[in-house]
Amino acid sequence: MENRKKYLAKVMFWLPSRCKKDIYLALEADIDEHLAAEEDRVGHELTPQEEELALRAFGVPPVVATRYSMELPLISSGLMTVYRRVLFIALAGVILAQIVLIIPDFIDAEAGKHGRLIVETGRRATWGFLLAFTSVTLVFSALTRIYSQWGKIR
């Protein structure tokens, strides 16, 4: 029983405070059901060690909390594959653009200036990565909100 209370507290830590009461009741019922099913499976009342193993099988507390949270994710799982691909393309575009931009300067540069050009290119690439990541993430976050209103994705 002590394991159950500790587990519930760990899950509740990861939930927003405005909906904890309702979620606590639902989570408690689901855990009780899970533990009862485990007791039926083993044929006796669970020992503290068996209870701990059954709770681990129920899930890691931060992940379990996401099952009960009513908040929309930043990017939905339905768009995640496309998001990763677009993000990869955007970051590859930044690298390609920096390579194209450095070639003429690198060819024309004096012997001692190549290091400075590489550092400058690294600085520009870093800002490009941040801008690309932020832009793509904001667009897909907006798409998640739009499509979730239509009931198309979760």
Q: What is the 3-state secondary structure (H, E, C) of the chain?
A: CHHHHHHHHHHHHCCCHHHHHHHHHHHHHHHHHHHHHHHHHHCCCCCHHHHHHHHHHHCCHHHHHHHHCCCCCCCCHHHHHHHHHHHHHHHHHHHHHHHHHHHHHHHHCCHHHHHHHHHHHHHHHHHHHHHHHHHHHHHHHHHHHHHHHCCCCC
Quote the domain boundaries for residue 53: 2-68
The rounded distance, in Å, linking the Cα atoms of 71 and 76 is 11
Domain count, the chain: 2
Q: Is the pLDDT of residue 150 over 90?
A: no
Q: Are 102 and 116 in contact (CB under 8 A)?
A: no
* Boundary (domain end) residue, out of 18, 47, 68: 68
Residue 62 placed within a domain: yes
Same domain for 85 and 43: no
The 10s digit of each residue's pLDDT in 27-82 is: 999 999 999 999 999 999 988 899 999 999 999 998 888 888 777 788 888 889 99
Same domain for 50 and 82: no
Instruction: Name the average pLDDT for the chain.
Output: 87
Number of H-type helices and E-type strands within the chain? 6, 0
- Percent helix, strand, coil in the chain, to 5, is 85, 0, 15
Query: In terms of pTM, does the model score above 0.75?
Result: no
Same domain for 111 and 87: yes
Residue 58 placed within a domain: yes
The rounded distance, in Å, linking the Cα atoms of 27 and 64 is 9
* Boundary (domain end) residue, out of 68, 86, 115: 68
* Boundary (domain end) residue, out of 39, 68, 97: 68
pLDDT of residue 15: 83
The rounded distance, in Å, linking the Cα atoms of 154 and 143 is 11
